[in-house]
Each structure stands twice: as C-alpha cells, then as structure tokens.
Amino acid sequence: MTIDLNSRYGLNPAHSEVVEACKVIEPCDTLDMGCSNGRNALYLGQLGFNVNAIDINAGAIDTLQSIIDQEKITNIKTQVLDINSANLGAGNVNHYGFISCTVTLMFINPANVDAIIADMHKRTLPGGYNLIVCAMSTEQNPCPVPFPFTLQTEQLREAYAGWKLIKYNEDVGTMHNGAKLQFATMLARKPS
C-alpha cells in the first residue's frame, strides 16, 4: 500500500493537473520546475517517476531533501537552480520524458521565458510531455496579482506549435476575494 507522504509531512496534495497528467504518462525521467517543498515530486516519486526537483529557494529544497532522507527515497534528486538561466540541465539527467512546470512560470523574468520554453523543448525526449500551468493577463481579464510574467491569449499554444496538445484551456477562475484570475493549462506531447 502507498503511504501518503504529502499528508505525513503536512504538504498539500499534488497539483490536480499533475495528478491528471499521471493518468496519461507512464513513469519516466521527470523534471519538476519550481518544485517548492515537493508536493508534486513526492507524488510522482511514489508512482515510480525518477524526478529531478529544482527550485531557486534553498529552504524549500532543504525541506524536500530532509523528507527524501527520512524516507530513504532513491528516485527524487533535488537541486537549487535558477530557472532564469534557461539551462535546465539539472542533476545527471539531461533529457526527460516529462517536464512539469505548475504555477512557476509567472515568477520568471519575462525576458527569459522564450529561452526557457525553448530549453524545455530541447530537453524533452521524442514522444515526451510538457505540463505548464501559468497565470494569464488579457484585456477581458487583467491579472489582479502583480506576477512578473503572465501569458497572453493563445501564447502558450503558439509556443507549442507542432506538438500534440493533449489538453489546452485558458479558463477563468475566481479567487477567494472574488477577483477573476485566468490560467493557461497545457499538457503537450512532443512528436516522436
């Protein structure tokens, strides 16, 4: 029986889009971009994915590493890494079957986003998957949160031209204070 490590260590459950993606993607080498303290990495690791978990926040990486050490987990590696470098060569794996980037891209310097997505493309194996969930700001729904970066309408779809879009939406949600917040959600598969 699988132990729910997220509950054991007081972490939120994995992002719902990561859970959904795992219904499609077989365990493989995976990069978790902006892993924070590991809610998605721990979930993926328990399903048998080999995860490189990267984040700029050394404290969050320390928290995840201490869970890994306590649980003697062998298939999750951590690294403090600034995604702005647009060089996602974390750990000893350089190409991935799955790159997951949930609610992280909007904290990135806008000047680097194209290069980062290009690097994600380059590091994805043929037939591999990218998952991106990122805030948007549009004329109808200006982003109420001052994120450094937000996506425009159809920007993410255009960045993945030639990939198979398993899922793509630009849904509008409502925050606790009633403000509207639009997100792009995309699971895309690179051609084999």
Quote the radius of gyration of the chain (alpha carbons, Å).
16
Distance in Å, CB of 100 to ligand SAM, minimum: 7
| Residue among 67 and 108 whose Cβ is closer to ligand SAM | 108
- Tell me how many degrees the CA angle 27-29-147 measures, rounded to the nearest 5: 105
- Tell me how many degrees the CA angle 188-127-31 measures, rounded to the nearest 5: 70
Task: Tell which positions 25-44 bind ligand SAM, by CB under 6 A.
Answer: 34-36, 39-40
Residue of 25, 53, 76, 83 that binds ligand SAM (CB under 6 A): 83
Q: Is 104 a residue that touches ligand SAM (CB under 6 A)? A: yes
The residue count for the chain: 192
Neighbours of 117 (CB within 10 A): 19
How far apart are the C-alpha atoms of 163 and 93, rounded to whole Å? 22
How far apart are the C-alpha atoms of 16 and 37, rounded to whole Å? 16
Q: Is 76 a residue that touches ligand SAM (CB under 6 A)? A: no
Q: Is 55 a residue that touches ligand SAM (CB under 6 A)? A: yes
Assigned token pair, 104: 């992280």
For residue 19, give the 3-state DSSP assignment: helix
| Residue among 1 and 11 whose Cβ is closer to ligand SAM | 11
Distance in Å, CB of 105 to ligand SAM, minimum: 9
Residue of 79, 84, 153, 155 that binds ligand SAM (CB under 6 A): 84
Q: Is 108 a residue that touches ligand SAM (CB under 6 A)? A: yes
Which residues of the chain form contacts with ligand SAM (CB under 6 A)?
15, 34-36, 39-40, 55-57, 60, 82-84, 102-104, 107-108
